[in-house]
Amino acid sequence: MPLDAAARAVVGRAKEVAGIVPARPPLTDQDKRDAREAIKGGQICVLCGGLHVCPSTLACPRVASGKLNGDGAVIEVTFWAMGQWDTSRVLFAADVEDDLDESEHEPEAG
Ligand SMILES: [Zn+2]
């Protein structure tokens, strides 16, 4: 039910803003190195394109519902709409590759 995901995302963000739950801490250089190794190792989730525990399974946070065959392989999946799923547990290549070619970060404008 997509409304559940949207509601969870709003509540989760509100809790972050209110300081009830901390936002994800910034990635350390070691975190980024580990993530890049995992990406090179092909541990990317085929369902969301990110890194998270139990990739390419129904545990993917982008998956709203799905079906497995008798061997436990995902055979059918329904996704949450873009912007309505919890990406806080997912690392994307862009999150860890932003400093591959440059050693310093420029602050974002605005
Ligand atoms: Zn995934």
* Cα 104 to middle of ligand 1, angstroms: 30
* Cα 5 to middle of ligand 1, angstroms: 15
CB 90 within 8 A of CB 50: yes
Mean pLDDT by runs of 10 across the 110 residues of the chain is 67 73 79 91 94 94 95 93 88 77 54
* Cα 90 to middle of ligand 1, angstroms: 7
Q: What is the 3-state secondary structure (H, E, C) of 63-75?
A: EEEEEECCCCCEE
Q: How far apart are CA 81 and CA 93, in angstroms?
A: 20
pLDDT at 103: 47
The runs of H, that is alpha helices, within the chain are 2-18, 29-40, 93-96
* Cα 41 to middle of ligand 1, angstroms: 16
